[in-house]
Amino acid sequence: MSQQQTNNQVTKQIQIFDTTLRDGEQSPGASIDPERKIVIARQLAKLGIDVIEPGFALSSPGEFAAVQQISRELQNVEIAGFARMMKVDIDAAIKATRDAARRRLHVFISSSDIHLQHQLRKTRAEVLKQTKEMIAYGKQFVNEIEFSAMDSTRSDRDFVIELVETAIAEGATIINLPDTLGYALPDEIEELFRTVRTQARGGQSVRYSAHNHNDLGLAAANSLAAIRGGATQIEVTVNGVGERAGNCSLEELAMIIETRKSALNLETNINQREIYETSRMVSRAMHYPIAFNKPIVGRNAFQHESGIHQDGLLKNRNTYEIMDPEAMGISRSMIILGRHSGRHAIKHRLSEYGIEVADAELTEVYDRFKALCDVKKIVTDDELIRIAGETTATQPDPYMLVDLQVLAGSHKSRIATVTVKDSAAGEECSYSGMGEGPLEAVIHCIQQAIPVAAEFEDLELHSVSTGEDAHGEAVVTIINKGERFRGTSIHKDIIFAAAQAYVAACNQAIMTGKKQDDGAEEEAEVV
């Protein structure tokens, strides 16, 4: 454990152990193919993770190969080989991680009576014997051994201490006391770690780790409590994925420590700028959508609809934000335009696209905006731009999707025809394209019409109503010149909604680029 002196206070370094690729993958339906595991592991290393647990090597040949490749490639990260207290597991873990520059063996066994009686069908004496034998066996191959007493928060305290003493005596160097069911309260976690650390023989000679599940929504709080009790490593997953309600969320813990650093006197090696990219990568790989209100990385985490909040943010970001989203790689879209938004927010949003409206025009834009809010809760940027264009007798939208036709079938490629209006030229042109799916065919058409080298990065589809007349909301994210732009559209036809959202995102990229170019020209003239 490294420590440094800061402002006369000792700052404790917390090691981050990521188990997204092992425990996180145990989420129902969240399996990741071996190739993508390697890509995610590279991103985790870029994020600054100290220890990566890349999987359960014994589970399949593909899993073994992924663990092996990650161990060979990521030489600057410690790799944890996961194993049950069985020789066959330990052998597989040791073999798969053989080429790692730094590695550890992570072995576990249950410690609670309910697990022993109904799952393992073993006595306490048998569990102690197995722990003693298997840790001694693993110690032949590696110096670092992490021992986990599964379900320790629901276990008899004296037995946990006895089990930990056995593990330490045979060479365990890291003791993990998991809250496997997310059952414990913060004060109970703190007391557990402090008691085991101070009362177990050899307890002061090893490091301690916390692995907390989130069944009661306390995983992050319990992780901080474990640190107060003596833990110097926290086990996390990206987006908090994992069995049932998941594990302690990496991004939540990292940003709690960063945001409240002066109060906690803690720090990690996490690179904030890679948080959002890592979150999106894992979400896409696991096909696990991120909840809108998910702290740090959720869609609404840095967005505000209230007029009072919007006004405060426009004057000073610190009025209603405690973190800087851009520092985490999140593009700034802090204001959502809805029925609670005020004139100030609308004028500001239009100005971001180079659209200036006089006070009289703003009143009309605002009235039409409010009328649309009665129909739709949220007004997208492209809809606001369209309102401004109609009010000021201009057409700010560089491109408009006029019509869309798709021919789909069960065996052949999809064929699409799209008609797009070029506002500057005042012309409508039609384009045809093909793709494996209807949306891919449509995007290929639009890319012919709009000369913006925009990469289609992400698509979110959400139902906003029910029944036969249900509408779908499409949110499309594109990347243009390294910057992200997001377009939104709502329509009964989800393909049309996605296409419209893509056009809206491209329009934002074009208009933002034009405003930046105009500003650069004005600055050059002044100089």
User: What is the model's pLDDT at position 518?
Assistant: 58
Dihedral sign, CA of 195, 201, 202, 207?
A: negative
Strand 9-13: give its sheet, edge to edge: 3-6, 9-13, 266-267
Per-residue pLDDT of the chain (527 residues; tens, 9 = 90+): 445 544 557 899 999 999 999 999 887 777 788 889 999 999 999 999 999 999 999 999 999 999 999 999 999 999 999 999 999 999 999 999 999 999 999 999 999 999 999 999 999 999 999 999 999 999 999 999 999 999 999 999 999 999 999 999 999 999 999 999 999 999 999 999 999 999 999 999 999 999 999 999 999 999 999 999 999 999 999 999 999 999 999 999 999 999 999 999 999 999 999 999 999 899 989 988 888 889 999 877 776 555 556 556 556 766 767 788 888 887 755 556 766 777 777 787 777 777 788 877 888 888 887 887 777 667 777 777 778 877 776 666 789 899 999 987 766 788 999 999 998 888 999 999 999 889 999 999 999 999 776 788 888 887 776 666 677 888 888 888 878 888 888 888 889 999 988 998 898 888 877 666 655 555 555 55
Parallel, antiparallel or unpaired: strands 427-435 and 414-422: antiparallel
Asked if residue 55 lies in contact with residue 22, where contact means CB atoms within 8 angstroms, the answer is yes
The half-sphere exposure of 54 on its side-chain side, counting CA atoms within 13 A, is: 38
Residue bearing tokens 């992780």: 223
The first and second tokens of residue 340, run together, are 């609670």
The first and second tokens of residue 3, run together, are 């420590």
* DSSP states of 388-449: HHHHTT----SEEEEEEEEE--SSSPEEEEEEEEETTTTEEEEEEEEESSHHHHHHHHHHHH
pTM score over 0.95: no
Residue ranges per domain, the chain?
A: 12-286, 307-391, 399-525
Q: What phi-psi label fits residue 393: left (phi over 0), alpha (psi between -120 and 50 degrees) or beta? A: left
The correct answer on CATH 1.10.357 for the domain covering 307-391 is no
Residues ≥6 apart with Cβ < 8 Å to 63:
34, 55, 56, 57
Residue bearing tokens 């703003």: 362
Backbone angles phi, psi at 232, to 5 degrees: -120, 0
Asked if residue 260 lies in contact with residue 14, where contact means CB atoms within 8 angstroms, the answer is no
- State the burial class of residue 277 (Cβ atoms within 10 Å of its Cβ: 0-12, 13-18, 19+): middle
Nearest to 220 by CA among 189, 265, 174: 189
d(CA 471, CA 483): 29
d(CA 198, CA 408): 68
Nearest to 299 by CA among 307, 290, 308: 290
Backbone angles phi, psi at 450, to 5 degrees: -110, 115
- State the burial class of residue 198 (Cβ atoms within 10 Å of its Cβ: 0-12, 13-18, 19+): exposed
Helix (H, G, I), strand (E, B) or coil at 51: strand
Residue type, 489: S
d(CA 327, CA 45): 18
Between 3.40.630.30, 1.20.120.1200, 3.40.640.10, 3.30.160.270, what CATH number should domain 399-525 receive?
Answer: 3.30.160.270
Distance of CA 447 to the CA centre of its chain: 29
Neighbours of 522 (CB within 10 A): 10
We find that the CATH architecture of domain 12-286 is Alpha-Beta Barrel (3.20)
The first and second tokens of residue 439, run together, are 């949306």
User: What is the model's pLDDT at position 314?
Assistant: 57
The first and second tokens of residue 418, run together, are 């799209």
User: What is the model's pLDDT at position 398?
Assistant: 87
Asked if residue 253 lies in contact with residue 296, where contact means CB atoms within 8 angstroms, the answer is no
d(CA 257, CA 15): 12
* DSSP states of 193-214: HHHHHHHSTTGGGSEEEEEBB-
